[in-house]
Amino acid sequence: MRKLLFVIFSLGCLSVSGQELNCQVQVVSNQVQQSDRRIFETLQKAIYEFVNTTKWTNDQYQLTERIECSMFINITERVSADEFKATIQVQSRRPVYKTSYNTTLLNINDQDFTFKYIEFQPLQFSEATMLANLTSVLAFYSYMIIAVDYETFSPNGGEVYFQKALAIVNNAQGAVESGWKQFESTNNRYWLIENFLNPRFKLMRDTYYKYHRLGMDVMTADMESGRRAITECLDNIKKVRQDQQNAYLLRLWFNSKADELVNVYSSAFPDVKAKAVAVLTEVDPGNANKYKKILTASSQ
């Protein structure tokens, strides 16, 4: 599906199949007191190969179509010879039509990442059962990256991959590692997939499509039309917040979009600026000072 939708971005590249993700992986271990750092280099290479060479979908991708993303893993403690505590930051991007600009889709900082790893042991994953927390976390976020990317090209386009991410969460309910269960936190992997699939967040699902496909992709040809679509998205987000004020999905959205929204509205007409700032400061008060800069920016 995404391949067909991405044709509008293609410049007639040769039909070369590639995997779905072009993921930059970095593993850092500055907090771990250890003289031999080779295991962390091996881990980084293993994760890179696992994420980038696994076939996550049945779709055929050209090399230029691969989804740009990154995983930054910070090892905070070596608990034992083969067990580690870490954090993982996951980001993904997609190109805006007829520009060199990439818009951020996901910006997640997961603090609950404990895993076991034996150097040179192959990383194995199964959709049917949880084999290891390391590969389950990596696969979960790989499916989330793909799902959200597909959502921006067609309405509910990521449903299949959201369901695959949900299956990983369900398989992990008996895991000793944290990050998978409803009661552990309000912003973990459980709540991430729950929010995307909960009907109460349908307007947010719609926003991922409308903001990117009818908003950002249109702005190069028709700035005002694209901006109007984005303003309508803000109205939908306001409705969601009135019902689900502290939802993880709302925080995730503004983690990815706050700076971009400032740029979107900085060149708008004064009345459009005023409306946008009023809504943004209401739905995302944590970034209110950032949004107020829109009012003093030079209009078109």
Classify residue 3: in a domain, yes or no: no
- Which of 177, 134, 144 shows the shortest CA–CA distance to 252? 144
Residue 17 clears pLDDT 70, i.e. is over it = no
The tens digit of pLDDT for each residue in 219-233 reads 999 999 999 999 999
Q: Are residues 222 and 190 in the same domain?
A: no
Domain boundary among 169, 197, 225: 197
**Phi then psi dihedrals of residue 118, to 5 deg:** -110, 125
Q: How confident is the model at residue 245 (pLDDT cuts 50, 70, 90)?
A: confident
| Residues 162, 243 within the same domain | no
The count of domains in the chain is: 2
Does pLDDT of 25 surpass 60? yes
Where residue 108 falls among pLDDT bands split at 50, 70, 90? very high
Q: Are 73 and 111 in contact (CB under 8 A)?
A: no
Q: How many angstroms separate the Cα of 169 from the Cα of each of 83, 114, 193, 267?
A: 21, 15, 8, 43
In a domain, 1, yes or no: no
Confidence band, pLDDT 50/70/90 cuts, at residue 294: very high
What is the identity of the amino acid at 293? K
CA dist list (Å): 12 to 167, 231, 244: 37, 34, 44
Last residue of a domain, one of 197, 227, 258: 197
Find the domain containing 108 and state its range: 20-197
Tell whether 132 is covered by a domain.
yes
